[in-house]
Structure 1
Amino acid sequence: MSGHGFHVHGPHEHELEHAAQHEPKGFAGQLAVITAVLATVGAFFSYMGGATQANAGILKNDAAIKKTEASNQWNYYQSKSSKQNLAELALELTPSEEQKAKYRDKIARYEKEKADIKANAEKLEEESRHFDEKSEQQLHMHHRWAQATTALQVSIAVAAIALLTRRRWMEWATLVFGGIGCVLGALAALHL
């Protein structure tokens, strides 16, 4: 209220004047920009973390499918081995040369079929190992992205504290945590 050249300040106006006089130049604005940049980078890191986690799960599933297919092939191999063993036993027990020739042919056929089945089973096991390794790589990258995201979230929290306490050194702490997050994100992007 003013009257006759006299002006009375309310508590709110006094606080605003005090803040304007004592706040470091652009402190709140700087923190707002830093926080916005950190949040944007953090959103990207979070997306990449989720994507690599999903990829790891898909690759692990592919590994399990190949492992099951390999197991089926090994069971088929065992079945052919059993048939071959029975043919070998029949060869020993059969007195007829005509029957022996028939069993020798079966034994040779089972031996060839087993070799093909074994090669296929080993190929499937190798594919399963390959998918497992790729899954582990994706999971490692997921952990890196998660670490980077966490560092950026801590940085944003420190920025909020800096704004509330108006401590300049907290702004520097914000930048340090943000830098750590960015380095971890770069390591994830480089697959390290």
Structure 2
Amino acid sequence: MSSGGFHVHGPHDHAVEHATHGHDAAHHGADHGGGSSTNKIAMFTAIVATVGAIFAYMGGATQANAGLMKNDAAIKKTEASNQWNYFQSKSTKQSLAELARDLTPAETEKAKYQAKIDRYEKEKNEIKTVAEKLEADAHAFDQQSEAQMHQHHRWAQATTALQVAIALAAIALLTKKKWLEYGMYGVAAVGLGVGALAFLHI
């Protein structure tokens, strides 16, 4: 199902057209109950189409948000990887400095290498802190993206249910079957229920 729009043009036009015919028929001697039912279904269709359009918009918005958050997660992962590469570089330099310290006979040289080793250790700890923070940010963005996609699926399910309800309304107008009218109300209720779940992030 496309999340870019809510395609209800055909069923809604059918509903309005039949509502008009029903209204004319009521004026020409048709029973009052039939005309009232037709108008009621037409009104139902217009309301459900409007709500469905809102649900479709929300579905598209949540899908876009999910994509942006997934992109942010990828950026943070790349930055974290760069930091870990930097950390590895400092570790290599530290190991070389330790080797040089252990091999040199002069105490003054040993002190110089030890100062480098201490500096590399400090820098490594700072880099590690940054890398771990970036990884945590990437994980948080991934979780937010998944939550947005779940919400998007809820909006899509609700939109689909409302589309089915509108189709049932059009058929109910054509066939005058009461059970189809009950069906359209039932399916619309399901759609609104799922929309409520999406709104509540459930």
- TM-score interval for Structure 1 and Structure 2 normalised by the shorter chain: 0.7 to 0.9
Structure 1 segment 148-187 matched on structure 2, within 5 A: 148-187=158-197
Q: Percent identity?
A: 62
- Residue 162 of structure 1: CA displacement? 0.6
Higher Rg: 1
Residues 40-69 of structure 1 deviation map (CA, whole Å, 9 limit, x = unaligned): 000000000000000011011111111111
- Residue 28 of structure 1: CA displacement? 2.0
Give runs of ≥4 in structure 1 deviating > 3 Å.
Answer: 15-19
Residue in 2 that maps onto 1:133: 143
Q: Distance in 2 between matches of 1:135 and 1:73?
A: 24
Q: Distance in 2 between matches of 1:101 and 1:19?
A: 109
Alignment partner for residue 116 of structure 2, among 103, 106, 131? Answer: 106
When normalised by structure 2's length, the TM-score is 0.83
Which letter does structure 1 place at the counterpart of 2:162?
L
Which letter does structure 2 place at the counterpart of 1:152?
L
Q: Distance in 2 between matches of 1:33 and 1:123?
A: 54
Q: Distance in 2 between matches of 1:172 and 1:150?
A: 18
Q: Distance in 2 between matches of 1:25 and 1:32?
A: 11
When normalised by structure 1's length, the TM-score is 0.88
Residues 104-152 of structure 1 deviation map (CA, whole Å, 9 limit, x = unaligned): 0000000000000001100111111111111111111101100100000
- Residue 23 of structure 1: CA displacement? 7.3
Residues 63-107 of structure 1 deviation map (CA, whole Å, 9 limit, x = unaligned): 111111111100000000000011011111211222111100000
Residue in 2 that maps onto 1:65: 75
- Residue 164 of structure 1: CA displacement? 1.1
Residue in 2 that maps onto 1:3: none
Contact 2:26 2:32 in 1 (8 A): no
Using the TM superposition, name which of 22-31 and 176-185 deviates more.
Answer: 22-31
SS at match of 1:20: coil
Which letter does structure 1 place at the counterpart of 2:114?
R
Alignment partner for residue 56 of structure 1, among 66, 79, 84? Answer: 66
RMSD (Å), alpha carbons: 1.9
Q: Distance in 1 between matches of 2:101 and 2:91?
A: 15
Which letter does structure 1 place at the counterpart of 2:42?
A
How many residue pairs were aligned? 178
Residue in 2 that maps onto 1:83: 93
Which letter does structure 1 place at the counterpart of 2:122?
K
